[in-house]
Amino acid sequence: MNDAHPIVSSEAEELILVDTDDNEAGFLSKAACHDGAGRLHRAFSLFLFNADGELLLQRRSASKRLWPGYWSNSICSHPRRGESMQIATERRLQDELNMKCELEFVYKFAYQADFGDSGSENELCHVYLGRTPFEVSPNEHEIDAIRFISAANLNREFAENPETLTPWFALEWQTLTTRYRDQLAAYIAL
């Protein structure tokens, strides 16, 4: 990967705390949001598909505090204090993959997942679908590797090697392939 990418995230950046109805409830550093059992904060997950209907997966950087080296959906991140979801998703598309695309909002949900003594995710996550351009340029500070995978092969991976995949990715994929199958079918062959 090209080492020319900037560092685009920090434990000090302020995230948006929310209640279970997704109403803003204050701000807290990313580090503090992920300490212990975590504090509920706004997040998003992007599922990006190529022209062949394959999902772009990323292997999270080994330097990540939570789930380093795990495979996950295309992009997962947070809006920062003062950012709308649209601005935040556009920023992370550029920051992580050096790309732009239209996104389709699908649903949002809350989850909490512990990663041992390192901390937890405690997020109200907005889930989006989109299409990748022909080429993407992963930022090595955020992503160790990328690959594209068909729905059938991804389902097999979840069945055979769930321990290599992030917990939110598993929850989101299950929901997308069951409750939002019609929306997902516009992007991928199921």
Residues 68-102 have pLDDT tens digits of 999 999 999 999 999 999 999 999 999 999 999 99
Please report whether residue 190 resides in a domain: no
92-114: average pLDDT: 95
Domain that holds residue 172: 14-185
Q: Express each pLDDT in 143-165 by its tens digit.
A: 999 999 999 999 999 999 999 99
What the block records as the tokens of 95 is 């920051």
Residue 123 annotated to the active site: yes
Q: Express each pLDDT in 24-53 by its tens digit.
A: 999 999 999 999 999 999 999 999 999 999
pLDDT of residue 133 exceeding 90, the answer is: no
Please report whether residue 72 resides in a domain: yes
- Name the catalytic one among 76, 101, 125, 142: 76
pLDDT value, residue 88? 97
pLDDT value, residue 10? 66
DSSP structure string for 86-125: HHHHHHHHHHHHS----EEEEEEEEEEEE-GGG-EEEEEE
Please report whether residue 1 resides in a domain: no
Q: How far apart are CA 181 and CA 190, in angstroms?
A: 8
Long-range CB contacts for residues 5-9, cutoff 8 Å, separation at least 24? 5/98, 5/137, 5/139, 5/140, 5/141, 6/139, 6/141, 7/141, 8/95, 8/96, 8/139, 8/141, 8/142, 9/77, 9/95, 9/141, 9/142
Q: Express each pLDDT in 163-190 by its tens digit.
A: 999 999 999 999 999 999 999 999 997 7
- Name the catalytic one among 54, 96, 121, 123: 123
Q: Contact, 56 vs 50, CB < 8 A?
A: yes
CATH of the domain at 28: 3.90.79.10
Q: How far apart are CA 136 and CA 123, in angstroms?
A: 27
What the block records as the tokens of 53 is 């209907």
| H runs (alpha helix) in 35-186 | 85-97, 151-160, 167-178, 181-185
Please report whether residue 9 resides in a domain: no
pLDDT value, residue 189? 76
Q: Express each pLDDT in 45-73 by its tens digit.
A: 999 999 999 999 999 999 999 999 999 99
pLDDT value, residue 120? 95
Please report whether residue 121 resides in a domain: yes
pLDDT value, residue 183? 95
Q: Please name every residue paired with 71 in a beta bridge, in sequence order, or none if there are none.
A: 59, 165
Please report whether residue 7 resides in a domain: no
Please report whether residue 124 resides in a domain: yes
112-121: average pLDDT: 94
Please report whether residue 2 resides in a domain: no
Q: How many domains does the chain have?
A: 1
pLDDT of residue 7 exceeding 80, the answer is: no
Q: What is the largest CA-CA distance in the chain?
A: 42
pLDDT value, residue 2? 44
**How many CA within 13 A on the CB side of residue 128?**
25
Residue 76 annotated to the active site: yes
